[in-house]
Amino acid sequence: MGDRLDWPNIPYLEWQDSCSALHLYSQIVGKYRLARTPWVNHAWHATLYVDADGLTSGLIPDSGGITIRFDLRAQRLVGTCISGERQGFDLEPMTVAEFDRRFKTLVRGLGGTPDYHRTPNELPNPVPFAEDKEQRPWDAEAVIRFHKSLATIDEVLKTFRTGFLGKVSPVHLFWGSFDLAVTRFSGRGAPRHPGGIPYLPDEVTQEAYSHEVSSAGFWPGGGGVDEPCFYSYAYPTPEQFSQAQVAPERAGWNDKLGEFILSYEAVRQASDPRSTLLEFLQSTYDAAADTGDWPSDSLECKTGVPGKPRKLD
């Protein structure tokens, strides 16, 4: 069996309220990065990244350079500035309004400007951050387990990313939908996306899906799926995509979501979780490329190996 320390049990329903809190807090930090960073294609400039401590914004161009980190091992939000300033506060039970207040104080203490959009995106019935005064729990143990799972998944997605010569996104966490994702591009443009994603401007969606993609990733649960899952979809969706045979056996098409789905638990309990996840990622990409008639011969390559330059023909 796979190393269960690397693939911890993270049943969504047992920590969904804490997960929701972390999701909303990540939106606040992400919106701050979004407000200060020049636009990069497909909103890649706004995301968060997994690191050894938790989730990080990377360097934000404010006050010479600010980094915000969710230190999920130490249960703190930490901000650092290129000037050497350091600010932080404990991640603990609180309201979203209180997190928002503490975060703005933190950014100001670093010499930054905490001006950002004040309402969540991609969530039903959004409440402005400063007005969300519902007490939120903080399950520290569950958060630590979630971080461990993210770190393991991040490594697998990065390995999968190396098997592609074409345009491919970083492995990053989108705080709107709260999923860790990687996206491959065929190199062709796509029909204009119809938009309509709740509480997300159509112009953002249309720019994100301006080109043909095969995208895969992981989310911890919610949005109609009450367990952590891996997903894979294509845009535009090829006609025969949903009928494609994918692996492993427990993977399947979800009509409601319009995506292939594989439960995290199926991967966790597999004899080789890493290989099982890679099998899902590769087979669903193959389904998108085959049914979408991608120019695969010019886009694909062998998976990268540490320390060995890719051989050229």
Which of 136, 164, 181 delimits the end of a domain? 136
pLDDT single digits (tens) 184-227: 999 999 999 999 998 999 999 999 999 999 999 999 998 778 99
Does 157 lie in the same domain as 121?
no
Does 82 lie in the same domain as 100?
yes
Does 125 lie in the same domain as 166?
no
Does 207 lie in the same domain as 60?
no
**pLDDT on residue 2:** 41
Does 118 lie in the same domain as 153?
no
The answer to the question of residue 167 being in a domain is yes
Q: Is 120 helix (H, G, I), strand (E, B) or coil?
A: coil
Q: Is the peptide bond before 170 cis (omega within 30 degrees of 0)?
A: no
**pLDDT on residue 121:** 96
Does 228 lie in the same domain as 185?
yes
Does 177 lie in the same domain as 130?
no
Does 154 lie in the same domain as 98?
no
Tokens representing 244 are 């494609």
Which of 71, 102, 136 delimits the end of a domain? 136
The answer to the question of residue 25 being in a domain is yes
pLDDT single digits (tens) 128-162: 999 999 999 999 999 999 999 999 999 999 999 99
Tokens representing 100 are 């928002």
Tokens representing 50 are 């997994």
Does 273 lie in the same domain as 153?
yes
The answer to the question of residue 7 being in a domain is no
**pLDDT on residue 3:** 45
> 93-115: buried (b, 16+ CB within 10 Å) or exposed (e) per residue?
ebbbbbbbebbbebbeebebebe
**pLDDT on residue 311:** 82
C-alpha 293: how far from its chain's center?
A: 27
Does 230 lie in the same domain as 119?
no
Does 145 lie in the same domain as 29?
no
For the question of whether the overall pTM of this predicted structure is more than 0.85, the answer is: yes
**Domain region containing 187:** 141-298
Low-confidence ranges of the chain (pLDDT < 70): 1-5, 313
Q: What's the number of domains the chain is made of?
A: 2
The answer to the question of residue 308 being in a domain is no
- How much helix, strand and coil, in percent to the nearest 5, is found in the chain? 35, 25, 40
Does 201 lie in the same domain as 56?
no
Which of 98, 114, 136 delimits the end of a domain? 136
